[in-house]
Amino acid sequence: MDRPKLNSPVRRYKAYVGILGTTQLYLRNPFMVAFASLAFPGIGHFMLDKYLRGYLLFVWELYVNFNAHINLAILYSFTGEFQMAKDVLNINWVLLYLPTLIFSIWDSYRSTVDLNHQYILAAREDAEIRVFNIDSIEINYLDKRTPWNAAIWSALMPGLGQLLIHRIPAAFFVIVMFIFIAQMAKLLPGIHYTLLGQFDYAKSIINPQWFLNLPSIYLFSIYGAYISTVAHNNLFDWEQSKFLKKNYQHHNFNMPFKKANESGERMYVVSTFDHSNYLELAITAIQMKGIAKENILGVSMDKRGEDRKLFDTIHSSDGFSLLDLPFVFATLFCLFGSVYGFILTWGPVLWGIIGLFVGLGLGLIIKLITTKKYTNRENKLKATEVVLIIECKETQAEIVMNLLWENHALGVRKLDLNIA
């Protein structure tokens, strides 16, 4: 199927893997999404995969903010130039700004709560989804990626992280808008002269009206790429667990303790894996060697409650990476650093970067303290995610073990119950 059929008995799906991207439901923090809309209307809706609404609000923010001179008023207000702040505002546009800003914040919060409810219902329905979609213009499929790879690419160029995880509508829009705003703000010449130490000249050429848009867009591009990768990884694990349960937990599989082996020719190979494409490559390679599907048992493990991890990885994506508050602080401090950089010696570029790292560090410290991360660090080992048991002939055991190792098994062991 390309899309869920209208006559399907399934009411809700957790995700849809389309040609231009994977749209999915997962639990989100409504306050974080609302803050994203406060920082820049439209960004919160991008985080919810509501692209059309996000496009509309994003372009509206740019257009009305520019005509009302909102960013200039913010700059003058925080630098104590209150009369200039009042004078610069365009009264023909200011009153148009507030209602839509408030709507953006309210609607993103409301939508997050509603979509969280939809996710819970979809998770309870537990319907299968398509994992691979191919068309004449693109290919999209579920896969696992390292969240920090997406974040780093977005840090180098906003939108590249979204491109890495195949969110084409978001990636295209963010890349185009960031280039446009950066050019209008004279960001690159500002960076150039800041690196040369010509801070006064850098301040003189940067356009503050456009420059103050950049902190919110830049940081939420990084954050959005990160959390989307975490969500994609969790979706992959969930789907592969369903696949194993449906195809490799056959009722005729002879468990080792049930098998009475009279011939002495049968044995078992036990291995452990992470959820990954390598697991399915190993299974299909083993089947190609003549071992029937009924003789392969794959069990996805339920994990016990673990401490929240500071950084998600390709192998461990709990969705609670503790980076929500740090990114809020980083956005605020980067914005204030950019504002005060226009009156301080080093200029808005350098002070914006300093503010970013100070906010990130401060938010991280607060989050670690409030969650008492430092009190329990004894479990540092990576948990096994999948156990694979293959029943085979003694002559096939070595081939099976080699195939498992070649496909990155975490551990492999031959189990021969006929040895006295």
Return the structure tokens found at 253: 């599989």
Model pLDDT for residues 245-260, shown as the tens digit of each residue: 888 887 777 776 654 4
Q: Which domains does the chain have, with CATH numbers?
A: 15-241+309-375 (no CATH), 248-301+384-415 (3.30.70.120)
Q: Where are the beta strands (DSSP E) in 145-252?
A: none
Model pLDDT for residues 21-32, shown as the tens digit of each residue: 999 999 898 999
**Could you say which DSSP state residue 291 is in?**
-
How many other CB atoms are found less than 10 A from the CB of residue 26?
A: 20
The pLDDT-based confidence of 418 (bands split at 50, 70, 90) is low
CA dist 307 and 287 (Å) reads: 38
* Closest by Cα among 104, 132, 93 to 33: 104
pLDDT (mean) for 70-81: 90
The pLDDT-based confidence of 1 (bands split at 50, 70, 90) is very low
CA dist 300 and 317 (Å) reads: 16
Q: Is the pLDDT of residue 141 over 70?
A: yes
Position 168, amino acid:
I
CA dist 65 and 63 (Å) reads: 6
- From residue 257, alpha-carbon distances to 133, 254, 265, 389 in Å are 41, 8, 16, 13
Output Rg (C-alpha) for the chain, integer angstroms. 26
**Could you say which DSSP state residue 320 is in?**
-
Note the pTM of the prediction, 2 decimals: 0.82
What is the dihedral angle through the alpha carbons of 242, 248, 254, 258, rounded to the nearest 10 degrees?
Answer: -20
Which residue is associated with the tokens 């970013």? 356
Model pLDDT for residues 335-389, shown as the tens digit of each residue: 888 888 888 888 888 888 898 899 888 988 888 777 664 445 444 445 668 888 8
The enclosing H or E element of 272 equals strand 266-273
CB proximity list for 3: less than 8 A, separation 6 or greater:
16, 18
Helix, strand, or coil here: 66? helix
